[in-house]
Amino acid sequence: MLTATLGGLIKDYRIKKRLSQLKLALEIGWKDTTRLSKIEQGRVKPTRETLDKIMKALDVNDQGRNLMLLASGILPSDVEIQETIKRLKEEMELFNLPVILIDYAWRTFYFSEKARKVYKTVDGINRYLLKEKPSWMEVNLTKRNVLGVKVLEGYSRDRLLSAGEHEISLFKYEQGNNEEERWFKDLAQRMSKNEEFRQLWARVNPGAYQYLLYEYEYHSLTGDWGKGEQTLNFHLFCIHPTFDFRFYLQIFTPADESSYKLLQEIR
């Protein structure tokens, strides 16, 4: 979970560059420091265009750019999503493991071929994801016809929950600082139409389900992959692509020998 604020990051980089607010403001093309001061204090959220100007004036490196974009709360654009899929598609397929591409807001964009087979997704799943950009929470709770398996998720093998309960507890824990973001409000409005979501949201306490290991989860899937109902257990790890920390690759690795063997049989 990112704790640094965008304003704090901008201020840190400005100080490291030994730039006063006035000099940076002039580099950007502003006549005074009012706007920059409000951004650094967190009172004003810059647009993507403004943030690009600030990052250019500060000459931030790739890591700094990634951190600022992630802290900005600015969602990846459609063009950025398509470019990311294009850049990562080959690597996602080379894993020969289930791999899912999401962003920090949990919008889901791409299932690798192995992920499509393991989750028994509907035809055209990736076209649907690109068009609708549903949250992974939406997929598990309100769009269950998209997946053909039953999903249990948890923070460890011994702490498995229903997909809905786990996703809501984790969402509350991870996304609590984004409640004022437009995407958060839009998602909450869509989800509020689902009765199960409303009941779970009122009941689930995120403090009871905090990570033991950050960006790791345990997944247990039950489905029929051609030989009757079976169970697949996975360790899920999340990694960032180096060029944009707003995206995550969710990589599922078999958690036991029987899951490894079954995964090899799913073609």
Q: Tell me the per-residue pLDDT of 172-221, one tens digit each, with 9 for 90 and over.
A: 888 888 888 899 999 999 999 999 999 999 998 876 666 667 789 999 99
Q: Looking at the structure, do residues 44 and 113 belong to the same domain, yes or no?
A: no
pLDDT of residue 237: 95
* pLDDT more than 70, % of the chain: 97
207 vs 142, more confident: 142
Please state the rounded mean pLDDT for residues 10-37.
Answer: 95
Other beta carbons within 10 Å of 249: 20
Task: State yes or no: pLDDT of 134 exceeds 80.
Answer: yes
Q: Looking at the structure, do residues 101 and 229 belong to the same domain, yes or no?
A: yes
Euclidean distance between CA atoms 96 and 111, whole angstroms: 12
Give me the domain span that covers residue 35.
6-72
Q: Looking at the structure, do residues 108 and 206 belong to the same domain, yes or no?
A: yes
Confidence band for 148, pLDDT divided at 50, 70 and 90: very high
Tell me if 1 is assigned to some domain: no
Confidence band for 78, pLDDT divided at 50, 70 and 90: very high
Confidence band for 83, pLDDT divided at 50, 70 and 90: very high
Confidence band for 109, pLDDT divided at 50, 70 and 90: very high
Q: Looking at the structure, do residues 62 and 177 belong to the same domain, yes or no?
A: no
pLDDT of residue 115: 97
Q: Looking at the structure, do residues 45 and 90 belong to the same domain, yes or no?
A: no
Q: Looking at the structure, do residues 66 and 87 belong to the same domain, yes or no?
A: no
pTM of the full predicted structure?
Answer: 0.89
Please state the rounded mean pLDDT for residues 149-163.
Answer: 89
Euclidean distance between CA atoms 171 and 167, whole angstroms: 6
Please state the rounded mean pLDDT for residues 10-39.
Answer: 95
Length reported for the chain: 267
Q: Looking at the structure, do residues 46 and 60 belong to the same domain, yes or no?
A: yes
Q: Looking at the structure, do residues 252 and 132 belong to the same domain, yes or no?
A: yes
Instruction: Kindly state the helix (H) or strand (E) to which residue 164 belongs, with its residue range.
Output: helix 163-175
Q: Looking at the structure, do residues 18 and 89 belong to the same domain, yes or no?
A: no
Q: Domain count for the chain, please give it.
A: 2
Q: Looking at the structure, do residues 87 and 169 belong to the same domain, yes or no?
A: yes
CATH number of the domain that residue 42 is part of: 1.10.260.40
* Alpha carbons within 13 A on the beta-carbon side of 208: 10
- Please provide the average confidence, as pLDDT, over all residues in the chain: 92
pLDDT of residue 30: 95
Q: Looking at the structure, do residues 179 and 221 belong to the same domain, yes or no?
A: yes
Other beta carbons within 10 Å of 198: 12
- Express each pLDDT in 235-262 by its tens digit: 999 999 999 999 999 999 999 999 999 9
pLDDT of residue 206: 73
Question: Of 72, 99, 126, which marks where a domain is finished?
Answer: 72
Question: Of 72, 92, 120, which marks where a domain is finished?
Answer: 72
**DSSP code at position 181:** S
Tell me if 255 is assigned to some domain: yes
pLDDT of residue 209: 63
Which residues is 151 bridged to in the sheet? 221
pLDDT of residue 1: 45
